Amino acid sequence: MPRRVAQSVEAARLRLARRALPEHLPRASVVHAGPCTCPACGGGSRRIGEDVTESLDYVPGRFKVVRHVREAFACRACEQVVQAPAPHHAVPRGRAGPGLLAHIAVAKFDDHLPLYRQAEIYARDGVDLATSTLSGWLGAIAATLRPLVDLLRREVIAGSAVLHGDDTPIPVLAPGSGKTRTGRLWTYVRDERPHGGTRPPAAVFYASADRRGERPLAHLAGFSSVLVADGYAGFNALYENARPGGPLTEAACWAHLRRKIFDVHAATGSALAAEALARIGALSGIERELHGKPPDARTRERQAHAKPLAAALKLWAERSLTQLPGRSERAKALRTMLARWSALIRAFDDGRIALDNNAAERALRGGRAQDLPVRRLLNKNARGMRQPPGTSPSLNDPNPQASQPQ
């Protein structure tokens, strides 16, 4: 037993071994001088080496004022006055530099720090910036970035073979009422990593005051391929022949279906729901093995292994429906699955299509995590242009402050 205890202690010690501090950080050395004489005998001492202990410290961010000095010159002959043009500012007639604007945007949209909290932090440094000022600056940032956002939307929507689409409610302040109303945040995501694609993942966002079906019709006007989405009826017009540019190809989400069945199982403990979950889980297990493989290999493996399991699931569901009360939650879940069956099995014939819509749901989950009520949907332009976690920047794991002026 003592030997086993010793081994456990040693394993814990190795797990807790400290990692080296990042090499890219600047180092400041504090030299603790040793005595010049020996404290034991009083003899002279000589330096034989040193021990170095590193600790991580933090220097709070600080403001600075950049003075743009434009010298004026006059011609000795004709008295013509010449001077360098005034520096450009992202905010017209504003006094915010690019580093400050970038910091405010990153703090709000990447670090989930509301503007009123930022204002409190800046006030500790003696800089009084009202939330209305910060909000105006964010609007100016959105306007400045609009060409990049338009380019991203064209690249993602018009240039993709498969898109993931989803939406989520967002609270919007109703001025004068002291209440909020419900707006919508929409996302469309391209993520080719599951089938080994070479293009980087990317996402675009739109905001709207409602959830009418005309919204996705307008968003995806330039798209003409496969849309992976849940069963929201507002997407139905996208799959109709009357759609300008022709119908999109619908691919349904197995994860969305599984959640419906899981809810039934959690509420009722139904053995039938448990079996349905096990059958869907078998499909997910096959899919995990195919992650990162090229589309043709994924199609072959799905048709050889997953498609027969899906066919057996359909037969089982049809047989089970005849034994269930028509109004039961179990029957409703199975009817939902069978009604969307052609869209559910579409991925088995196209290796580019994912079995779930998790890419879009993750993007919305990250974007919604920070949401206090937005001031009004005039802010929707800035909101649709910003990049919440889960969108193109964070999908590609950059440092959002790497290019800020130091």
Contact 146, 211 (CB under 8 A): no
Residue 319 lies in a domain: yes
Q: What is the pLDDT of residue 390?
A: 37
Q: What is the pLDDT of residue 20?
A: 84
- Give the mean model confidence (pLDDT) for residues 322-344: 93
Q: What is the pLDDT of residue 173?
A: 76
Long-range CB contact pairs, 118-126, < 8 A, 24+:
122/63, 125/62, 125/63
**Quick check: 277 pLDDT over 70?**
yes
Residue 226 lies in a domain: yes
Residue 279 lies in a domain: yes
Burial-class residue 282 by CB neighbours within 10 Å (0-12, 13-18, 19+): middle
Residue 316 lies in a domain: yes
CB atoms within 10 A of CB 212: 12
> 334 and 283 in one domain?
yes
Choose between 363 and 238: higher pLDDT. Answer: 238
| Domain boundary pick from 351, 366, 381 | 351
Closest by CA position to 275, among listed 333, 322, 236? 333
- Give the mean model confidence (pLDDT) for residues 233-250: 94
Residue 104 lies in a domain: no
Q: What is the pLDDT of residue 352?
A: 96
Segment of 33-42, 198-207, 224-233, 306-315 carrying the highest mean pLDDT = 306-315
Q: Model confidence over 47-91: pLDDT tens digits?
A: 888 888 888 888 888 899 989 899 999 999 998 999 999 888 878
Backbone angles phi, psi at 362, to 5 degrees: -65, -40
> 371 and 247 in one domain?
yes
> 261 and 246 in one domain?
no
**Quick check: 171 pLDDT over 90?**
no
Q: What is the pLDDT of residue 83?
A: 93
**Quick check: 217 pLDDT over 50?**
yes
Choose between 403 and 290: higher pLDDT. Answer: 290
Q: What is the pLDDT of residue 398?
A: 61
3-state secondary structure of 172: strand
Q: β-pairing, 202-208 with 226-229?
A: unpaired
Within 13 Å, how many C-alpha atoms sit on residue 214's CB side?
3
- Give the mean model confidence (pLDDT) for residues 380-387: 42
> 240 and 215 in one domain?
yes
> 384 and 245 in one domain?
yes
Contact 372, 114 (CB under 8 A): yes
Q: Model confidence over 98-156: pLDDT tens digits?
A: 889 999 998 988 888 999 999 999 999 899 999 999 999 998 988 888 899 899 999 99
> 243 and 361 in one domain?
yes
> Residue 203 to residues 75, 152, 186, 313: CA-CA distances in angstroms?
55, 8, 10, 33
Sheet holding 249-252, edge to edge: 202-208, 179-190, 162-174, 226-229, 249-252
Reported as a pLDDT band with limits 50, 70 and 90, residue 405 is: low
| Domain boundary pick from 351, 371, 390 | 351
**Quick check: 190 pLDDT over 80?**
yes
> 319 and 308 in one domain?
yes
Q: Which two tokens stand for residue 84?
A: 């360098």
Residue 4 lies in a domain: no
| Domain boundary pick from 335, 351, 367 | 351
Whose tokens are 């196209």? That residue is: 350
Least confident of 18-22, 72-76, 292-296, 391-395: 391-395
Rounded Cα distance, 262 and 284, in Å: 15
Q: Model confidence over 35-47: pLDDT tens digits?
A: 888 888 888 888 8
> 402 and 320 in one domain?
no
Choose between 345 and 58: higher pLDDT. Answer: 345
Q: What is the pLDDT of residue 383?
A: 42
Closest by CA position to 257, among listed 358, 122, 350, 387? 358
Rounded Cα distance, 340 and 326, in Å: 18
> 185 and 308 in one domain?
no
Whose tokens are 């609009």? That residue is: 146
Q: 204 lies in which domain range?
A: 147-252+357-406
Mean pLDDT, the chain, integer: 86
> 318 and 379 in one domain?
no
Q: How many domains does the chain have?
A: 2
> 247 and 154 in one domain?
yes
Tell me the β-bridge partners of 186: 167, 206
Q: What is the pLDDT of residue 334?
A: 95
Residue 15 lies in a domain: no
Residue 235 lies in a domain: yes
Q: What is the pLDDT of residue 195?
A: 94
Write out the DSSP string of 269-321: --HHHHHHHHHHHHHHHHHHHTTT--HHHHHHHIIIIIHHHHHHHHHHHHHHH
> 244 and 211 in one domain?
yes
Segment of 249-263, 370-384, 388-402 carrying the highest mean pLDDT = 249-263
* Dihedral sign, Cα of residue 297, residue 348, residue 302, residue 304: negative
